[in-house]
A and B are shown apart, each in its own frame.
Chain A
Amino acid sequence: MLSFIGRSVIQKTITLFFVSIVSFLIIHLAPGKPSQVNPMNPKFTPEILERFQKEFHLDKPLYVQYLYFYRGLFTGQTVSWKDNQSVFSKIWGRFLNSLPLFIVGTLITWTLSFPVGIRSAIYRGGIYDRTTTFLSYLLISIPGFFFAYVLIIFVVNHFHVPVIGMETFGIANSSIPHMIMDRIWHLLLPSVLGATGGIAILSRYVRSQMLEVEGQDYIRTAKAKGLPPDQVHYKHAFRNALLPFVTMFGLILPGLIGGSVIIETIFSWPGMGRMAYDAILARDYPVILTVNFVSAVLVLAGTFVSDLLYLVVDPRIRL
């Protein structure tokens, strides 16, 4: 057990090291320099440019830049090129904004997909199954921002609730229940949108897992024992079908960053994805790299957690 954890941590550290190199190379070898972002800007006189380059070690060879950057990252001193703020405090602030969106979205996804998937697996081929199958394909296939606009139009026209941003502008003076309702309205639409794709994919996956398991011999054994169908489906089948989802559970963490760019942009939600997008626009390398690094850490941590969870839930795996 301990040796597994040790090996896993070492392996993931090595992976992380390579990720850091690759992302650094991608950013720095791509044509275009941050100093060229706005050559017309009168503030960017050659002297300032030089000072700028010196300050951020842009005049040094690439590997020295790499060392400087990751030294800064690990000592927490990295600052954004754009506004000289600490990258970590920026990310933390945005992270707190993204968190409710992420939590609500994930909750909706996981609480809806499982009942839907299980039900359509049990009644496969029936009306319910066919309807949900078609609906989930529909949701997978719709371009996210198109769907978002359709929903926004619908909500704005029918409920007369403005839904852009985290709260309605100037609402701070109104009563507390009103504020809470307003917050919920603003949270609801983006998180539902963020969840739709997930629901569609996850429920399909739940369905196919359940079908896979329902065909196994031990399900027949359970039925031959005379167990009621509920116990057969929800105890014997579901428990086995659940195993692969432990892996997926580890992979939802990175969704905090990558998945939300478009939705946060549409709803002007000041979250992580939106920040990353702005950083890309401004070629704010420290922010881009840090976001990338953090998300790689999240991915690796997620897989690590899911490996550990697998040990717990699958008795066949013993170390």
Chain B
Amino acid sequence: MDKRPKSHGTPLLRVENLKVYFQGDGKRARAVDGISYEVHQKQTVCIVGESGCGKTVSALSILGLIPSPPGEIVSGKIFFSGQDLLKLDEKTMQNIRGNQIAMVFQEPLTSLNPVFTIGDQLGEAVSTHKSMGAESLKRYMIQLLSDVGIPSPEQRLNDYPHQLSGGQRQRVMIAMALSCDPDLMIADEPTTALDVTVQAQILELLRSIQQKRSMAILYISHDLGVVSAIAHWIYVMYAGIMAEQGNSDQIFRSPRHPYTQGLLASLPSLSKRGKRLYSIPGSVPNPAYKPTGCPFHPRCPHTISTCRKEYPNMCDYGHGHMARCPVLYEKREHTE
């Protein structure tokens, strides 16, 4: 939870100016519109934003799982351990998926295939990338399941997904993601569909796993509370662009983008008891009908005329803290 490690070296994952558009009904929906971010080894990096702002799409495009016909990666680069994933052929990508980059999805209820046992699906994940004898495979799977905190793992292997609870299924998904010791795990809102208590357990699990296995986690969430608990570094996304980035302190103590400020202001807390909760007016624009200039300007309390016309630049606040709002940046210059 402290400052970004100074000894960067090359990041494990670097996304540069990624643009993913969806074609449909004769319109072009700019779901991800030029985002850049980095994930360093052994770090937990969070991408935060409202639903529909392109978080999931940006994660799926790392694995090359954007459904295309409608979707298309228009431009950008995704460097993972030095190679550009977008230039790799399908065969090599298959070798990376699940092996070096694993993913945990939002809906544990529907993300497991209902007609195969847990053992089948877990074993498949392992044996696709590793060759292992049947006996040692079974032992390995039991080990994995107990690692993620599933009781009596041996019997669970023969169970079907519907026989497990939501939290347990998500644990199975995590076990599956861990099975090949990936360097990077992408967790796409893994706790959203779960109860709050289960959510805390899963978060704790992720944290302990990361410490044990020293892998990087790219955690995608709309829940600032969750993010504050685990993130080393935070990216705030809005309508397909990066609004702000920084560590927890920077983002939570001194947010520099009106959108981040709005998000934080709308969090309920004890100090705001009795007051009306703030909510950002309006809603996330449809990616096919985005406003010109700064995409946040229709909802922003600080809008000036240039916001409507010009796409805002990233403004550097030092220590890696950046926000895409020149208006507030200038105000800061004058007040401080």
Contacts and interface: CB of A to CB of B under 8 A. Distances in A.
B3 interface: no
Contact of A226 (B96, B113, B160): B96
Contacts of A221: 105, 111-113, 173, 176
Contacts, number: 74
Contacts of A218: 110-114
Interface in A194-244: 216-218, 220-229, 231, 236, 239-240, 243
Interface in B95-114: 95-99, 102-103, 105, 107, 110-114
A225 B125 contact: yes
A315 interface: yes
A216 B110 CA distance: 7
Contact of B115 (A125, A222, A231, A314): A314
Contact of B110 (A217, A224, A229, A236): A217
Given A221-B113, A221-B173, A236-B113, A226 B107 contact: no
A167 to B, nearest CB: 46
A316 interface: yes
A124 B99 CA distance: 29
A125 B69 contact: yes
B99 to A, nearest CB: 6
B103 A315 contact: no
Contacts of A314: 114-115
B172 to A, nearest CB: 11
B94 A227 contact: yes
A217 B107 contact: yes
Of the candidates B94, B97, B117, the one having the most CB atoms from chain A within 10 angstroms of its own CB is: B94
Nearest to B129: A226
B128 interface: yes
A220 B115 contact: no
Contacts of B60: 220
Contacts of B111: 217-218, 220-221
A221 to B, nearest CB: 5
A226 B110 contact: no
Contact of A220 (B65, B69, B116, B124): B65
A229 B117 CA distance: 20
A316 B160 contact: yes
Nearest to B173: A221
Given A218-B112, A313-B115, 4 more contacts: A216-B110, A223-B65, A226-B128, A315-B115
List 9 A-B pairs, minimum CB-CB distance, nearest first. Answer: A226-B97, A226-B98, A225-B98, A217-B110, A218-B113, A315-B160, A224-B103, A217-B111, A225-B125
22 contacts: A216-B110, A218-B111, A218-B114, A220-B60, A220-B111, A221-B112, A221-B176, A223-B97, A224-B98, A224-B105, A226-B94, A226-B97, A227-B94, A227-B128, A229-B90, A239-B115, A240-B113, A240-B114, A243-B115, A315-B114, A315-B115, A315-B160
Interface of B: 60, 63, 65, 69, 90, 94-99, 102-103, 105, 107, 110-117, 124-125, 128-129, 160, 162, 173, 176
Interface of A: 125, 216-218, 220-229, 231, 236, 239-240, 243, 313-316
